[in-house]
Amino acid sequence: MELIEALRTTGAVRAFDGRPVPDEVVVRVLDTARFAPSGGNRQAWRVVFVRDADVRRRLRDLYLPGWYEYLAQVGAGLVPWSPTNDRGVESSARRGAVAIARQAAAGPGGFAEDLDRVPVLLALFADLANLATVDRDADHYPLAGGASVYPFAWSILLAARAEGLGGVLTTMVLREEAAARELFGAPDGVVLAGVVALGYPLERTTRLRRLAVGEFATVDRLDGPVLGSS
């Protein structure tokens, strides 16, 4: 697939047709993704290919509470867990997760409830000792460390697309990160960065909706002229 087409059409896929993905395809995906950029080329990522049915169910059970809290916050008009949220308002909204969970238990379920049935689950970890987190001591929410891990996750999704797969990176399990680390035997200093779900897509997304360049790019300052306006 031509690169620009892949970049413009690789969206989040959460519905799969159920076909198994051969191990050799997963290996090829990771073999391509390993060339992703990382700080100092230290490649601080580790991947666990989740096969065991019991481990998959336990991972799903760790995922669901955070998912229902997410839905409860969205329903209250919040950006879930935004660093700028009013914590009291957020806490009140999250209490709605109980009712959402009850409703979900009575329904057919979706990606979250069927997470254990996703054809490929890859738990993505980061080795903190190999991350140059330059904003570690900042007085705001740190972001820099992820720059050495999440490009690898994106490369997994692009490489998967070339194999006819679709997928999504989800960080929801980080709400239960300590339990997830124990589930996968992660040593001290190795933290969960997310879970990548892959499979053959039920439907292919070919047109994605995104902001136009002029809606997010300016010249010289955040309040500068819109890029491309002159």
Q: Which residue ranges make up each domain of the chain?
A: 3-204
The reported pLDDT for the residue numbered 228 is 87
The reported pLDDT for the residue numbered 56 is 98
1 confidence band (pLDDT: 50, 70, 90): confident
Superfamily of domain 3-204: NADH Oxidase (3.40.109.10)
The reported pLDDT for the residue numbered 107 is 84
Average model confidence (pLDDT) for the chain?
95
Average the pLDDT over 78-94 and give the result. 97
SS3 164: coil
Q: Quote the percentage of the chain above a pLDDT of 70.
A: 99
Q: Tokens standing for 26?
A: 């997963």
Give 101-144 as a 3 state SS string. Answer: HHHHHHCCCCCCCCHHHCCEEEEEEEEHHHCCCCCCCCCCCCCH
Q: 139 pLDDT exceeds 80?
A: yes
The reported pLDDT for the residue numbered 188 is 96
Kindly tell me the sign of the dihedral angle through the C-alpha atoms of 156, 120, 68, 184: negative
The reported pLDDT for the residue numbered 31 is 98
Residue tagged 């238990």 (tokens): 105
Q: 15 pLDDT exceeds 90?
A: yes
- pTM of this structure: 0.93
The span from the CA of 2 to the CA of 224, in Å, is 34
pLDDT tens digit sequence for 180-211? 999 999 999 999 999 999 999 998 776 789 99
The reported pLDDT for the residue numbered 204 is 77
